[in-house]
Structure 1
Amino acid sequence: MMKASLKGKYDADKTTGVGSLSFNAGDLKLRATMTDATVVAGPTLNGLSLALEKPGSFIIEYNVPKKDVRFQFMNRVMIAEKPLSLTYIHSRLDNRTIVDASLAIDPANKLSANHMVGTKNCKLKYTYVHGGMATFEPSYDLAKDTWDFAVSRRFYGDDVVKATYQTSSKLLGMEWSRSSKSTGSFKVCASVNLVDEVKTPKLTAETTWNLDI
């Protein structure tokens, strides 16, 4: 079965669109992704990428116009009977490697770390889920020596309201999202920089449609 998705995003500066088409080949999934730059002035190769994926194991993605290959490998091991999820991401053109680790202490508590190899960029995050409905996520950026905070609450099963605050940029954000496997999802975001004298909120809207072909 082939699956298609279409994503549209609108903000005050520009409106963009992204489409993807994928189908399963046994344990593997083949996917082609294109942006509005691929078709508006074209057809062209701008914004086109091709990917080969084995869910939960690896993703190999080729950016056609940049001639860049991105490798992503996933694995899970047990540490003291706790699942540790590991993700290794390498971009050949940028020569950049990122390692992401997530340790589930129990269903309500999780520790995560994200590190760019060869740099001081490292972020630590603690996630606590209260009653399966509310989530608290403080995170610490070692390179910037700053904290970020996020609090989210689920309503009616599919709706989530989330508030975020970045101490480094003094950016306060609010987000409302709804996700459905059958009909797609949407997200509406508002953010304001508390440092600006004129605190005008920046609004963005994003929606995704999923289709089975």
Structure 2
Amino acid sequence: MKATLKGRYDPDKSSSVASLAAGIGDVKLRATVTDATVVKGPSLNGLTLALEKPGFFIIDYDVPKKDVRFQFMNTIRVAEKPLNLTYIHSRGDNRTILDGALVFDSANKVSANYMVGTGNCKVKYTYTHGGVTTFEPCYDFGKNSWDFSIARKVYGDDVFKAIYQTSNQHLGLEWSRNSMLNGFKISASFNLSEESIVPKLSAETTWNLEM
């Protein structure tokens, strides 16, 4: 069994999420609760149950909303290159998303994300230089604009990342760490279109426990 606790802190609102996962053969069962589940006494608010077979499917059930989300994954070969395909459908809002990623090699990948029935489609190219620095230009057809990001690994597990969205002149900076025991992410976002550029800060912490 594996337990995960995640907390998020920002000036406007703080929140927390806890999950407990157990493996049965090659299938995982997971229960997730938020602070809304325990605040004002135990309730079903924020409770989600999931059934997952890694690499094949994930079925999420939102208990209070009685909503189901299906996610199916598969990999096929295109010109001897792996094409990772994902189909996501949320029954409650009747939304379907198709996602694909063609991996050319360890340094180059092209991915696309499309929401069925809308003009929301994004195409992203990912290039990793020396296994340390990652460049990701992304074109959003719905907004007719580009997004750019650059990330660099430092100090082993730490990653510094900068993201710029041309549609709203939004600049984001992140410092994160992922490890088997715990991790964190500190973010600062700026709206460069405003006269007074005041950063919006937030922080996340994650703790993992094997039982």
TM range (shorter): over 0.9
Superposition RMSD in Å: 0.6
Percent identity, aligned pairs only, is: 67
SS of residue in 1 equivalent to 2:88: strand
**Alignment correspondent of 1:48:** 47
**Alignment correspondent of 2:30:** 31
**Alignment correspondent of 2:195:** 197
The code of the aligned residue for 2:100 comes to A
Give 1:65 shift: 0.7
* 1:75-94 alignment, distance < 5 Å: 75-94=74-93
CA distance in 1, matches of 2:105, 2:21: 34
SS of residue in 2 equivalent to 1:38: helix
The code of the aligned residue for 1:185 comes to G
The code of the aligned residue for 1:197 comes to E
Runs of 4+ with >6 A deviation: none
* 1:8-157 alignment, distance < 5 Å: 8-157=7-156
CA distance in 1, matches of 2:40, 2:32: 16
**Alignment correspondent of 2:159:** 160
Please give the TM-score of this superposition, normalised by the length of structure 1: 0.98
1:186 aligns with 2:184: yes
1:175 aligns with 2:174: yes
- Consecutive unaligned residues of structure 1, counting only runs of 5 or more, are none
CA distance in 1, matches of 2:182, 2:62: 25
Give 1:157 shift: 1.6
Give 1:212 shift: 1.1
CA distance in 1, matches of 2:63, 2:195: 43
SS of residue in 2 equivalent to 1:37: helix
Give 1:156 shift: 2.1
SS of residue in 1 equivalent to 2:65: coil
- Consecutive unaligned residues of structure 2, counting only runs of 5 or more, are none
The code of the aligned residue for 1:41 comes to K
The code of the aligned residue for 2:119 comes to K
CA distance in 2, matches of 1:119, 1:163: 28
